[in-house]
A and B are shown apart, each in its own frame.
Chain A
């Protein structure tokens, strides 16, 4: 299980990354993160929605209500150009952290 602060910090890059695979709706987005993290990333699921709204306000993503196969309406979210650019920046930053930590742990195998 991830620490609360780390969950909060990684929400936006995770959402951006899942949406870069194609448009999606909130419930499925969470399923995807749970599946890929093998259950290690657990969100308080309702809290995803204020984040999605904030991202929409920042024009990183856009949304649209559409009817799903089930007949119920669903709100689909999709990346905007700005979101794609923001994902690139996020990726560089997370990779920088990741690479630094891996390099350090490689030198000092007792840590891994």
Chain B
């Protein structure tokens, strides 16, 4: 006879709890209340003769799917859900500003260093370097969005939203704000510093290659944004269909 792997009720219940870990619709207390119900149901079905794993399966069915539960709770706690959405929007905007600002500063500094003697480097090389930096940023963002929505990022998003609910939230946001301020400062200060080593014609070449670069990276940025939106929308539809 085949032996089944041992059934661990607590393990299965903590897996069930995972579904709600990053949900704003259910507070930890709400999940705990339903967990108690789930345990009582499992015990009841065991009493009438089912094995523990069978009892748990039937109990889960009685409770209903986590998606429906989350949807119904979201209707009741809509304000909590919206606050959560705004929070993630702000986190997204800040992350984008940070990454984009950093890439921009780096690209420009590279150009300035490269164009110290404008005669040696032509504008198309400069533009290529600049566009390459921007493309890397877009690709990175796409990857991040894909990762976060695939469900593999669940643990991280749960950790972030839990971290922001604690008292230390001010420290976290302060650090993020400081990093952002630093990037903006860098953006302004680095060119001023490098300026000394660059000829006027070199400066013109930097400016030109940057603007030629925008001609290419601008539309690509728009495409990347659309791609991200489509990716998230598709993921959302798949989740709702389940």
Contacts and interface: CB of A to CB of B under 8 A. Distances in A.
Given A45-B63, A47-B68, A53 B36 contact: no
Contact of A47 (B29, B36, B69): B69
Nearest to A63: B33
Contacts of A47: 64, 68-69, 72
A26 interface: yes
A54 B72 CA distance: 10
Interface in A22-70: 26-27, 44-47, 49-50, 53-54, 57, 65
Contact of B68 (A26, A44, A75): A44
B30 A53 contact: yes
Interface residues of A, number: 16
Interface residues of B, number: 19
Listed residue (A50, A54, A57) with the most chain B CB atoms within 10 angstroms of its CB: A50
B72 to A, nearest CB: 4
Interface string B8-49: 000000000000000000000110111011001100000000
27 contacts: A26-B33, A27-B37, A27-B40, A44-B68, A45-B37, A45-B41, A45-B62, A45-B64, A46-B34, A46-B63, A46-B68, A47-B64, A47-B68, A47-B69, A47-B72, A49-B30, A49-B34, A49-B73, A50-B69, A50-B75, A53-B30, A53-B73, A53-B76, A53-B77, A72-B36, A73-B32, A74-B36
Interface of A: 26-27, 44-47, 49-50, 53-54, 57, 65, 72-75
